Chains A and B, each alone.
Chain A
Amino acid sequence: MKPAPFRYDAPATLDETLSLLAEAGEHGKLIAGGQSLVPMMNFRLARPGRLFDLNGVAELDFMRVEGARLRIGALTRHAAFHRPPCEGPTGALLAEVVRHVAHYPIRQRGTFAGSIAHADPASEWCLVAATLDAEIVARSRAGERVIAARDFFVASLATALRPDELVTEVRLPVLGARWRTGFCEFARRAGDFAIAMSAVALRLDAGIVREARVGVGGVEDRPSRQPAAEQALAGRPVSPAALAEAADAAAREVKPMTDLHADAAYRRHLVRTTTRRALERAAA
């Protein structure tokens, strides 16, 4: 369990990093928290020829609210969310979700943007990004582009990023006071990757759902919004029946994967449970 040989560089600036990425092409890899990459390298499932360490690039270490956006810089660790990073439902959701991301020591190193770039189908942050329509800001020497979450996650561990691109930040909407959020995850043990999870956000007006966002993760090869579940809620009062219908709709629509810990039928069952519970928490 030792990595294959690689060359290591620790650039100090973003420009330097982008040059290194451009020069290395397919052989180069960024390392942020290393909490996904290093295990994969040790198992020799990943064997980058060159490794560029982001941790010295101080300009990427930020998190701030600007307007209605929470801007999460590439070096923001999971642990930064142990307390709500902003007011309102978005901050509350992030602080709730972070408790499910791995274990305490891992959260001190692993980064939000690293999770997004890594695109594990069971990553909580990827689910939050998909559910809240995050914007992913990608930079290369050729310039910057902003990628919508729905276009960013392509498949398991695959994204729209090009090898010479770096995620400089991820932007989340700071939801207003009318929004309610909820999250529910099932994993075999505390801190394990989710077998299924749901994140929801409801905009309520006098008890009526005006807008619904229902996201499911850990179930398909990437996190997804669930339009049928969202439609089941829109325009209706938050009644147990509406929540149950939405949960049923999500369970019906997903195409669950099968692995060692769950077959498709069980995952579908879990989607109903996690969606229902996430909605109940949002509505509570």
Chain B
Amino acid sequence: MADRRYIGVSHKRLEDRALLTGAGRFAADLSAPAQLHMRVVRSPVAFGRLRGIDAAAARRLPGVVVVWAFADVAHIPPIQIRLTKIGGLEPYQQTVLARDYVRYVGDPVAVVFAEDPYVAEDAAELVVPDIEELAPCICATDPPGEFMPATLPGVSTEVAVVRKSYGDLAAAFAAAHRVVELEVAVGRHTGVPLETRGALAEFDPASGVLTMRGAAKVPHYNRGQVARMLDMPDEMVHLIEGHVGGGFGVRGELYPEDVLVCHAALRLKRPVKWVEDRQEHLMATNHSRDQCYRLRAAIDARGFVLGLEAEIFSDQGGYVRTHGVTVPDLAAAMLPGPYVVPAYRANVHVRLTNKTPAGTYRAPGRYESTFARERLLDAIAHALGRDPIEVRRTNLVPRERMPFDRGIDTLGTRVVYDSGDYALLLDKLLAHLDYERLKAALAARRAAGERVGLGLGYFVEKSGLGPADKAVVSIDAAGTVEVVTGAASIGQGIETAMAQICAEVLQVPLERIRVVHGRTDRIDYGMGAFASRVTVMTGCAVQAAAEALREKLRAAPSGTPAAAEGWFRADHMTYPYGIHAAVVRLDPGTCAVHVERFVVAYDIGRAVNPMLVEGQIVGGAVQGIGGALFEELVYDENGQPLATTFADYLMPTLAEVPPIEALVTEDAPATQNPLGVKGAGEAGINGAGAAIAAAVDDALGRPGAVTRLPITPVRLHRLLAAGG
């Protein structure tokens, strides 16, 4: 009998029954008897010397158990960098409560524990920080200043310059037919999961175990950090994930609040609950993007880029958080994208400002660098009077050159595009769009007075970051299979995908498989969920474990319980790629941009569950459109954040986005893993800013008009007013 196929089938999500019937349990749903509620007191000013905290009135409020300031937690070390640990960043790490300085509006300065959440908030209002205000820096292209002038004299707010280069740039510019330059910027955005951060920590004196529920993204790593910071053995600390209402890079990193909740549960010997409110989320959870690119390209007469020079400014906000210089590193490594670019040099100035600290957000460093690179390709096409698509074809890495070694590293791995047929995907997209007809139709509409346009953004993604993942697959006497992973679920459907991979090997129905994730008490090793890595890394570990189990079962009588372990290791990432295409209509009367059509073409290598891939693409595209047109974390000149509610941080709704068309291909399976899979998480968002900017240019009839995202009505009004 032929094996039944599970991989490649759009199975309904196993996780949805609980979620759709209201049985989901998110952080705020958790409670424990006699729990205390934590409320953080945050700095109201962007930059200043913290001279003291007056908590006397708060302490007197009935129901308040304790109020802590830095002195009470001085023994807890600052939060370490998780990724891209380059040297020299240590002084910039954030302590769990501010010590001598506050560095952004929202910086935790004290923390209140009370019997109920209302009293906690009442008390937090009564805590008065004494802050000597200093002039804030809110722009990363301004000259760097001092991080904490009085206590760390001479420590600059330029924390690092990330440099990447290859090839002979001088020769490229010497041979250039022309040099094309531009400066573009992407505003500050953030991932906005519907579920804000939250946690419930409990200490069990009988076993000595500290448990924090409400974990997400990287529970194993965070367990190790909490244990180290609170001076406990790893195995006495457990982090457990419940349902998670979205992550997008920001949720689940280790933040001051996580450590404070755990520390309080230990010290106060009572369960401690904390739920972030939306206003806190928008000023305390990581921000992202906020980069400025100055690009110079040496081109030949056909528009082939001989050399590219990039000066990039990355605004990291108040401190260096867990992501270190991940975003700048990825920006510099991925800027050349799908193009050959024989010579390249990028310097990324990683600078601190007095804004919320920044980290990764879905397609970190790529949403931005794709925008900049594709603006550049459009500028080159315009400079030479060539069709933007032809200029891209001239520059695409040809299939024959795969695997393509970029000649630089990122996240500690060599950038080697493992497989891809970039020209083929472009052909498929153009066929899907019926490109010539579409162009003609848009031209006709423009001739009739409409402001419509089409734009494209080509990108290479990266996925499946190593080094390793582990899975344990077991079967009991009743034939129920359990897959235990160290992955995390941020809503992306990993239970379903892992079950499909396991089912394919063991040939058991999906309903018989239970997938465990996000629990440090069930498996000793886990890398969690980030960087579009789970299907590749955890998926291959699940496959290996299932295969090992199948071998064990071959010899055993049926009904024998058994378990097997599997590992997957990878030194290199795998590189999917895609193209976004947008058709927009401008309303000159209101200066609004209406997205009429949005297409994402994406080569996934191999899709475990096409429906889940499409879901990732659609959700990502909506966020990408948000970043292109609506979302921006604006600050005033005093460093006050102006978008701290959903009335001001505008995420697109159904009314603002068209149906997203996903054109998923499987032409270039990954060569680095046995499943041939590449990641899907960031496909939908990567090129959205680039495509929409190009479409707006086209609609305006002014190549290069858009230099900044988001393209808000005010900005479009200025463009229209300037150019008629």
Contacts and interface: CB of A to CB of B under 8 A. Distances in A.
B123 to A, nearest CB: 11
Interface in A78-96: none
Contact of A1 (B122, B278, B642, B713): B278
Interface in B71-87: none
B717 interface: yes
A186 B642 CA distance: 21
Given A4-B122, A188-B650, A190-B656, A262 B277 contact: no
Nearest to B636: A260
B115 interface: no
B151 interface: no
Contacts of A262: 713-714
Contacts of B630: 188-189
A186 B590 contact: yes
Contacts of A261: 648, 712-714
A190 B714 contact: no
Nearest to B280: A1
Interface in A229-283: 260-263, 265-266, 269-270, 272-273, 276-277
Interface residues of A, number: 27
A44 interface: yes
B717 A265 contact: yes
Top 5 closest pairs, chain A to chain B, by CB: A273-B589, A190-B655, A1-B277, A266-B717, A186-B590
Contacts of A43: 279, 645
B590 A270 contact: yes
Interface string B649-669: 010110110000000000000
A260 B648 contact: yes
Contact of A5 (B118, B650, B712, B714): B118
B655 A44 contact: no
A7 interface: no
Interface in A55-77: none
Contact of B653 (A189, A270, A272): A189
A266 B591 contact: yes
A270 B592 CA distance: 11
A64 B425 CA distance: 63
Contacts, number: 63
Contacts of A193: 647
Given A1-B277, A260-B634, A260-B643, A277 B714 contact: no
Interface residues of B, number: 29
B300 interface: no
Contact of B589 (A189, A260, A277): A277
Interface in A150-193: 186, 188-193
A195 B714 CA distance: 11
Nearest to A188: B650
Contacts of A270: 589-591
Contacts of A1: 121, 277-279
14 contacts: A1-B278, A2-B117, A4-B125, A5-B122, A186-B592, A189-B650, A189-B655, A189-B656, A195-B713, A261-B712, A266-B713, A266-B714, A273-B589, A277-B589
Nearest to A42: B277
B721 interface: yes
A248 B237 CA distance: 68
Contacts of A189: 630, 650, 652-653, 655-656
A44 B591 contact: no
Interface in B349-385: none
A260 B645 CA distance: 12
Contacts of A276: 589
A265 B655 CA distance: 27
B653 A260 contact: no
Contact of B125 (A44, A191, A265, A272): A44
A120 to B, nearest CB: 11
A272 B588 CA distance: 12
A260 B642 contact: yes
Nearest to A269: B717
A54 to B, nearest CB: 24
Interface of A: 1-5, 43-44, 186, 188-193, 195, 260-263, 265-266, 269-270, 272-273, 276-277
Contacts of B647: 192-193
Contacts of A3: 118
B650 A192 contact: yes
B626 to A, nearest CB: 10
Interface string B706-724: 0000001110010001000
Q: Which of A188, A262, A269 has the most CB of B within 10 A?
A: A188
Interface string B693-716: 000000000000000000011100
B58 to A, nearest CB: 14
Contacts of B278: 1
A44 B647 CA distance: 16
Interface string B33-76: 00000000000000000000000000000000000000000000
B656 to A, nearest CB: 6
A276 B588 CA distance: 13
Interface string B636-648: 0000001101011
Contacts of A4: 122, 125
A273 B121 CA distance: 45
Given A1-B278, A2-B121, A44-B125, A188 B643 contact: no
A273 B122 contact: no
Nearest to A266: B717
Contacts of A263: 714
B227 to A, nearest CB: 32
B117 to A, nearest CB: 6
A4 B645 CA distance: 19
A260 B713 CA distance: 11
Nearest to A272: B589
Given A188-B630, A189-B650, A273 B590 contact: yes
B260 to A, nearest CB: 19
A173 B713 CA distance: 36
Task: Specify which of A5, A193, A261, A273 lies most central, judged by the most chain B CB atoms within 10 Å of its CB.
Answer: A261
Contacts of A190: 653, 655-656
Of B278, B589, B712, which is in contact with the most chain A CB atoms at under 10 Å from its CB? B589
Contacts of A188: 630, 650, 713
Contacts of B591: 266, 269-270
A149 to B, nearest CB: 26
B588 to A, nearest CB: 9
Given A192-B647, A261-B712, A265-B717, 14 more contacts: A1-B278, A3-B118, A4-B125, A5-B118, A186-B592, A190-B656, A191-B653, A192-B650, A260-B634, A261-B648, A266-B591, A266-B717, A269-B721, A270-B589
A107 to B, nearest CB: 15
A44 B117 CA distance: 15
A276 B590 CA distance: 12
B248 to A, nearest CB: 20
Interface string B616-637: 0000000000000010001000
A2 B634 CA distance: 25
A43 B279 CA distance: 9
Contacts of B653: 189-191
Contacts of B655: 189-191
A273 B712 CA distance: 17
B724 to A, nearest CB: 13
B714 A2 contact: no
Contacts of A192: 647, 650
